[in-house]
Amino acid sequence: MLRLDCLKAIYPELENCLAVTIMGATAAELQSLGHRPNFFYLQHAMGLASSTGLGLALSLPEQKIIVLDGDGSILMNLGSLSTMARYRPANLVHVVFDNESLLSVGGFPTATGKGTDLEGIARASGIPKALTVRTVEDFGTAVKEALARSQLTTIVAKVEATGPSGYVTDLSLLENRFQFRRYIQSLKRPGS
Amino acid sequence: MPVSVASSKVIFDALKKCDVRLMSALPETWLVHLIRMADDDPEMILVRLAKEEEGVGISAGAHFAGVKSAMLMQNHGFLASINGIVSFAHLYKIPLLMLISYRGTFGERDPWQTQGGNVTESLLRSMSIPYSFLDRADNVEKRIRQAQTLAESSLQPVALLLMRDLMWEE
């Protein structure tokens, strides 16, 4: 299963969400499908995409939030799973693309290729719904159901360790950040 | 426990007056009353963290959402947050209002706190983080407001160091 195909499968659903991605291949692949102002790409600070999603979810309880995380990133901040589980915002969907690799920094293998089970960690952390998917069809279904379910869900998507040839795009980090905030503020205007 | 309830209340009330609606926190002795006050206040979203660096992401999310936030941590928690501050808050120009209990300074009896006290200010300076002190109840409200004002106008993290003279009664 390719991450890019997973992203294609849920791209229409992302239109009505606020999406936060991790750095590198995930950010570049989502951008390659077409950037939208409701996408924020956290191009550094590994581990904090899930925390950013939690801050958004708690601040905007009426808004669906989706985090597109990775195995390398969440392994740097496993405590985030317990913090998310503690507050379990119903409007947050946490996707972890698990390619068993630190692909964007050279392809070094992570512990998920040697037995570390992120679905199990999520469940044992208290995330109310955690599942692993291995096909694009199952992934698309899992994300759509999670968005409809109104229950904090972690979806571990087992994907191949491949990505685009480059990660730098013409969207500057600050442009993305200011556009994202302005988009959210525009949702709050009366009549909009 | 001689942590000052009165000073904690002054700080909490000042944060409320500054429209802070979300506080992330990791408990330490000097912060217990502040965290309890946040927990008891239905208008305040309190996020209890596993590690302080999470608070950088949570405050960034709140900022994007238009919600004012504050981070409560010990200076060792600040040390644990440095990468998040540099590679998120500085990189993406995110305002952070950090209230940091300044352990390991004059009067510190706990040996395990003493090394953090030695490096806190030099690290804040080397990271170009503007900082000031909360050491007297009568200027807490003004200083918190000033810190928040600078964080928001400059779009960067600022720090207020909570001092023993304010937080501890003995």
Q: What are B10-30's pLDDT values in tens digits?
A: 999 999 999 999 999 998 999
3 state DSSP class of B160 = strand
| Interchain contact A181–B (C-beta under 8 A) | yes
The order of strands in the sheet holding A39-41 is A39-41, A18-21, A65-70, A92-98, A153-158, A129-133
pLDDT at position A103 is 86
Q: What are B58-105's pLDDT values in tens digits?
A: 999 999 999 999 999 999 999 999 999 999 999 999 999 999 999 999
ipTM: 0.97
3 state DSSP class of B150 = helix
Two tokens, residue B142: 């003004």
pLDDT at B32 over 90: yes
Averaged over B94-121, what is the pLDDT? 96
Contact across the interface for B64 and A56, Cβ inside 8 Å? yes
pLDDT at position A107 is 84
Q: What are A48-89's pLDDT values in tens digits?
A: 999 999 999 999 999 999 999 999 999 999 999 999 999 999
Distances (CA, A) of A177 to A34, A74, A168, A187, B37: 16, 22, 16, 16, 33
Tell me the residue range of the domain where B159 lies.
Answer: 5-167
Q: Tell me the chain B residues in contact with residue A53 when contact means C-beta distances shorter than 8 Å.
A: 61
- CA-based Rg of chain A, rounded to a whole angstrom? 15
pLDDT at position A192 is 45
- Per-residue confidence band for A126, with pLDDT thresholds at 50, 70 and 90: very high
Work out the mean pLDDT of chain A and round it to a whole number. Answer: 95
Domain count across chain B: 1
3 state DSSP class of A75 = helix
Q: Tell me the chain B residues in contact with residue A57 when contact means C-beta distances shorter than 8 Å.
A: 61
Name the CATH topology of A3-187.
Answer: Rossmann fold (3.40.50)
Please name the residue that has the structure tokens 């720090």: B159
Contacts with B, A 12-71, CB within 8 Å: 18, 20, 40, 42-45, 47-60
Calculate what percentage of chain B has a pLDDT beyond 70. Answer: 99
| Distance, CA of B131 to CA of A21 (rounded, Å) | 31
Q: Give the CATH number of the domain where residue B128 resides.
A: 3.40.50.970
pLDDT at position A190 is 59
Two tokens, residue A75: 């392994």
pLDDT at B159 over 50: yes
pLDDT at A120 over 90: yes
pLDDT at position A104 is 79
| Distance, CA of B129 to CA of B158 (rounded, Å) | 6
Averaged over A106-115, what is the pLDDT? 92
State which amino acid sits at residue A17.
C
| Distance, CA of B57 to CA of A55 (rounded, Å) | 7
Please name the residue that has the structure tokens 């597109």: A68
- What lies within 8 Å, CB to CB, of A175 at 6+ separation is none
